[in-house]
Amino acid sequence: MKSHIPLIVGNWKMNPATLGKARKLFLDTRKEIGRKKLETQIAVAPPFPFLSEMQRLSPSQRIGLAAQDVFFESIGAHTGEVSLPMLKSVGVSSVIVGHSERRAAGETDEEIYKDIQAIFKSGVTAIVCVGEKARDAQGNYFGIVEAQIRSAIRSIPKTKLKQLVIAYEPVWAIGTGNHATAEDVHEMKLFIQKIIADQFGRDAIKKVRVLYGGSVKKKNAHALLAVGQVDGFLIGGASLKPKEFAAIIHIAESHGKGTL
Ligand code: PEP
């Protein structure tokens, strides 16, 4: 089956400290990626207060804008929340949902489900994060990932599947330097595709991209793409280092074109 166009998303989390530093990070990232036209789709997810300035710096959306989270209601008395219409108005085209750091802060499967419903209605892409906290010898982590996915994507209309990206992010691999092996990532990718096929039919696999996230670096990116067979990455720490982030993008580009 022909693979998807690679998608590389940088999650800046609560970084950098100021708008000035965010501007520099964005411009350095753009410079390191270079001017050559790429097939690989690229997005970064800066903190909310920096989004509109990043939109100004990237009017062509060559580097797309993602949000790190969203609230499912569109307007009203919801202090501290940010809605989809607000995000769309500053150029956001994809939203990370259910990141493990949001789940750890108390976000529930039910809230994630509501966020995804709102995202699908709004026409932007949902990057839905799933992943186990720890691996056990009995393989219970498969059940954990399956439950997270089934809860998140229940009742999604098949016509909207192109807006769905699943990011497999084992929590133990996030920010630790311990990435999942390429073989384990491949096994999980097949498992996720089986869940998608069970719910929507086999042709749905072509529409839904599966990313890997968890200590992705330029030194492990090629194996994760070639052996892991994922369609791209969700990248935390390395997205704050423009040279490293750009190197991963270029590896994905060469991989996508079959030149690596
Ligand atoms: C993440 O937070 O989504 C992530 C994958 O982080 P890191 O790349 O730093 O492990």
Which CATH number is 218's domain given? 3.20.20.70
Q: Are 116 and 69 in contact (CB under 8 A)?
A: no
204-to-8, 113, 125, 232 alpha-carbon distances in Å: 21, 19, 16, 18
Minimal-distance CA residue to ligand 1 atom 4? 236
State the catalytic residue, choosing from 101, 169, 244, 253: 169
pLDDT for 257: 80
Expressed in angstroms and rounded, the spacing between residue 6 Cα and the centre of ligand 1 is 18
Neighbours of 248 (CB within 10 A): 29
Expressed in angstroms and rounded, the spacing between residue 213 Cα and the centre of ligand 1 is 6
82-to-47, 50, 89, 91 alpha-carbon distances in Å: 11, 13, 12, 14
Q: Does the annotation mark 250 as catalytic?
A: no
Looking at the domain assignment, is residue 2 inside a domain? no
pLDDT for 59: 79
Looking at the domain assignment, is residue 192 inside a domain? yes
Looking at the domain assignment, is residue 32 inside a domain? yes
pLDDT for 94: 98
State the catalytic residue, choosing from 99, 179, 186, 250: 99
Residue type, 218: K
Please choose from 7, 99, 216, 224 the residue to mutate so as to test ligand 1's pocket, defined by most ligand atoms within 8 A of CB.
216
Looking at the domain assignment, is residue 188 inside a domain? yes
3-state secondary structure of 94: strand
Minimal-distance CA residue to ligand 1 atom 7? 236
Looking at the domain assignment, is residue 247 inside a domain? yes
With 0-12 / 13-18 / 19 or more C-beta atoms within 10 angstroms meaning exposed / middle / buried, residue 232 is buried
Tokens at 249, concatenated? 């993008």
Q: Does the annotation mark 169 as catalytic?
A: yes
For residues 5 and 95, give the distance between their C-alpha atoms in angstroms, rounded to a whole number: 18
Secondary structure (DSSP) of 118-175: HHHHHTPEEEEEE--SS--TT-HHHHHHHHHHHHHHTT--GGGGGGEEEEE--GGGTT
57: which residues sit within 8 A by CB, 6+ positions away? 23, 26, 27, 30
Looking at the domain assignment, is residue 163 inside a domain? yes
Minimal-distance CA residue to ligand 1 atom 1? 236
Task: For residue 66, list its beta bridge partners.
Answer: 94
Expressed in angstroms and rounded, the spacing between residue 143 Cα and the centre of ligand 1 is 22
pLDDT for 3: 67
Q: Average pLDDT of each block of 10 consecutive residues along the chain (260 residues)?
A: 83 98 98 94 98 92 95 97 98 97 96 96 97 92 97 92 97 94 97 97 96 97 97 98 98 85
For residues 230 and 224, give the distance between their C-alpha atoms in angstroms, rounded to a whole number: 7
Looking at the domain assignment, is residue 99 inside a domain? yes
Ligand 1 atom nearest residue 173's Cα: 10
Q: Which domain holds residue 241?
A: 7-256
Looking at the domain assignment, is residue 1 inside a domain? no
The domain tally of the chain equals 1
